[in-house]
Structure 1
């Protein structure tokens, strides 16, 4: 337990040291955009405090370039809609609790109809602020609020064009490495605890449920978070001039994330099978039960080594300095050899007679090892990256003709999901690129 806390502390300190410079630069970009928009708005509206302009600039400048225009446009539409509703309400209704509630309800309904997304609440906020001015000053306040919003949006767009944000590929690579660390720590911790429980003659079922809960947390919380980091990195390259001078590592990140995602789901299924196998521990009284569980613990260690090595390889390949070396590739190959040995052991155990629960556990563990071997295979990784890089083009006319019916394919095997797709006419996946 102490080693686990120490590893977590070291990982957090490393993350803070790596992200410190990026966080400072991000804060400076937002601060400069807000101050610039406030100065410009003050020159346009002397004698006022146009705080809406820096607020708009802060919201616009932090988005990715690909969503910059949409975000600025949505915010302008939200403000114009809100102040227009407020002017109409101020002309016919007094400012009372019921009129305020009616304005908020109508503003939210119109904002949803316009699909303003994150700027939906700005419709109601703009209407409330202008309505508070009263019927006499509502029109002038509305025009000033619209102008301040336009100034802030324009300054935010200019700041992103003149000082584009950095490419977030390194952040996504660290997130993938962190995901692999979480999975490998779960497997190593389960292997150590399982060994202690078996040698001490204690129950395994309650500990297996704890491992299953941790695997669920990874698949339900960590994986979506890493997916958002990769999506942000992919969107950050579009319409960004910094992307011209930097290589596109998005396909490698996407393949690494997909491999870890599939592996995490398979590992969760394996822990589910372990919980089922130990819920009615009749077979645990057999003489060979201890050897079976100790062998499973060794398999967990080998899977953890493969996951950890694969995550480090993905991170080094996508790092700023592209620090991927032959030692990373060799380390992954060594880890895959260990998983091949685990597969061979499980194949031997599957042929022996055992309890039904034990046979099911062997089958799920063998399927998990096969899944991880397929996901972390280097040739499969390159093939998947090529598929992700290949641009989407319209199908030629001669490929749009009806395809003759082919013979019925052979019956799929339990491992068919990891096999290559069947060829179609015109498929050139395996041909070498010039």
Structure 2
């Protein structure tokens, strides 16, 4: 392939990626929008300070602006304050060291260790590097007169204000979509796991199948961690966000009580799948459930899957499952569980022990699924 054909192919691939990123909501679009905003803020800062004002330290404005288009408006404000403090400290350190020594190398030897040490202060976070880089800029360009210091601080401030303003006023980022996605995935992934378990139980499961169930149950626990992180990001993204009142409202999402409920459900599923792993394979530690028990277990798992599907559809107020159908599925699950309890006395002690452990976990799972569903949420629902 010739170089120009390869270049055309690569340009086409890049264009397609950008089009897909901007086509609809999703993480790719969010990243693309923030990148374009950062570039736009830098260009605006340069046009104002470098082209219109023709300032002597014009580079400081776009340098500050581009990094202050952060993932939330709150982070832009916090980073802007940190950045101005560090640039000021770095400038003063460099100017003081240069005035004291009269030599660039000696001034670096004095100012840089102190600047790097200041930058390691935990409260400065990722912005800490600005102390040492400012020292390098000041000393490398020899710009440490009182006039240069004021120009550097002023142009940094202008760039910071532009970066923060662009982030706050142009599509201010809100991370509600991540919360909504996790909320939907919990009941949906649980339902898919339960239906897979029901199908495998009907055909006769082995240890490999049971271990795959357990791994999928573990992923539900990790998904709950993602949900908690997403809620934290969402709360932060509303702080100092002028788009709070500007965005189109959407139906309220369940509160954090929903997270606690699904934490219990995920824990029950991990316990159930773990016990089924112990009943399979040659080195099993619990007796394998007999076929009549597996038939009732399949019916119970199918009914519980329908309950989870109804919960997922309730979040969007759409889908074939109605509230009455959910209640019917819950009742079917309780009936299947009652039949499993009655069969405990029909088996030897080892088999009864295995079935009893499953019955206990399944009963706790049904209690959690039958509990009232939390629906209240903080008034932070906005369209993405």
**Which category describes the TM-score, using the shorter chain as reference length?**
0.7 to 0.9
Note the C-alpha offset of 1:155. 0.7
Unaligned runs of 5+ in 2: 1-19, 346-350, 380-384
Q: Judging changes above 3 Å, is the alpha-carbon distance between structure 1 residues 241 and 113 closer, same or farther for their aligned structure 2 residues?
A: closer
Distance (Å, rounded) in 1 between the aligned partners of 2:34 and 2:202: 47
| Counterpart in the other structure of 1:331 | 322
SS of equivalent to 1:62: coil
Pairing 1:252-331 to 2, within 5 Å after superposition: 252=254, 254-278=256-280, 280=284, 283-284=287-288, 289-314=290-315, 316=316, 324=317, 331=322
- The answer to whether the aligner puts 1:343 opposite 2:341 as a matched pair is no
- Cα distance per residue 1:222-251 (max 9 Å; x no partner): 323233333333333343343335447565
Equivalent pairs counted in the alignment come to 346
TM-score by length of 2: 0.73
Distance (Å, rounded) in 2 between the aligned partners of 1:152 and 1:276: 62
SS of equivalent to 1:115: helix
| Counterpart in the other structure of 1:431 | none
- Cα distance per residue 1:116-164 (max 9 Å; x no partner): 123233333333444444xx44557765543343122111232244435
Distance (Å, rounded) in 2 between the aligned partners of 1:213 and 1:32: 45
- Cα distance per residue 1:4-37 (max 9 Å; x no partner): xxxxxxxxx9997433766665454333322212
Q: 2:71·2:173 contact (CA, 8 Å) conserved in 1? A: no
Q: Let me know the Cα RMSD of the aligned residues.
A: 3.7
Distance (Å, rounded) in 2 between the aligned partners of 1:34 and 1:258: 43
Q: 2:217·2:266 contact (CA, 8 Å) conserved in 1? A: yes
Q: 2:300·2:333 contact (CA, 8 Å) conserved in 1? A: yes
| Counterpart in the other structure of 2:3 | none
Stretch of structure 1 that moved more, 70-79 or 183-192: 183-192
| Counterpart in the other structure of 1:217 | 219
Distance (Å, rounded) in 2 between the aligned partners of 1:141 and 1:371: 66
Q: Judging changes above 3 Å, is the alpha-carbon distance between structure 1 residues 34 and 181 closer, same or farther for their aligned structure 2 residues?
A: farther
| Counterpart in the other structure of 1:232 | 233
**Selected match of 1:187 from 188, 194, 198:** 194
- Cα distance per residue 1:80-132 (max 9 Å; x no partner): 23333444455548648x949x935x444423436112323333333344444
Note the C-alpha offset of 1:368. 1.8
- The answer to whether the aligner puts 1:34 opposite 2:42 as a matched pair is yes
Note the C-alpha offset of 1:42. 0.8
Q: Judging changes above 3 Å, is the alpha-carbon distance between structure 1 residues 158 and 360 closer, same or farther for their aligned structure 2 residues?
A: same
Distance (Å, rounded) in 2 between the aligned partners of 1:81 and 1:250: 46
Q: 2:57·2:155 contact (CA, 8 Å) conserved in 1? A: no
Q: 2:22·2:29 contact (CA, 8 Å) conserved in 1? A: no
SS of equivalent to 1:61: coil
Distance (Å, rounded) in 2 between the aligned partners of 1:369 and 1:162: 48
Q: Judging changes above 3 Å, is the alpha-carbon distance between structure 1 residues 66 and 308 closer, same or farther for their aligned structure 2 residues?
A: farther
Q: Judging changes above 3 Å, is the alpha-carbon distance between structure 1 residues 60 and 257 closer, same or farther for their aligned structure 2 residues?
A: farther
Q: 2:261·2:368 contact (CA, 8 Å) conserved in 1? A: no
| Counterpart in the other structure of 2:134 | 126
| Counterpart in the other structure of 1:365 | 362
Distance (Å, rounded) in 2 between the aligned partners of 1:276 and 1:365: 16
Q: 1:164·1:240 contact (CA, 8 Å) conserved in 2? A: no
Q: Judging changes above 3 Å, is the alpha-carbon distance between structure 1 residues 189 and 22 closer, same or farther for their aligned structure 2 residues?
A: same
Pairing 1:133-148 to 2, within 5 Å after superposition: 133=141, 136-138=142-144, 144-148=151-155
SS of equivalent to 1:355: helix
- Cα distance per residue 1:295-338 (max 9 Å; x no partner): 33443333333333323322x2xxxxxxx36x67x535423431
Pairing 1:159-198 to 2, within 5 Å after superposition: 159-163=166-170, 165=172, 167-198=174-205
| Counterpart in the other structure of 2:16 | none
Moved over 6 A (4+): 13-16
Distance (Å, rounded) in 1 between the aligned partners of 2:197 and 2:256: 28
| Counterpart in the other structure of 1:207 | 209
Q: 1:164·1:241 contact (CA, 8 Å) conserved in 2? A: no
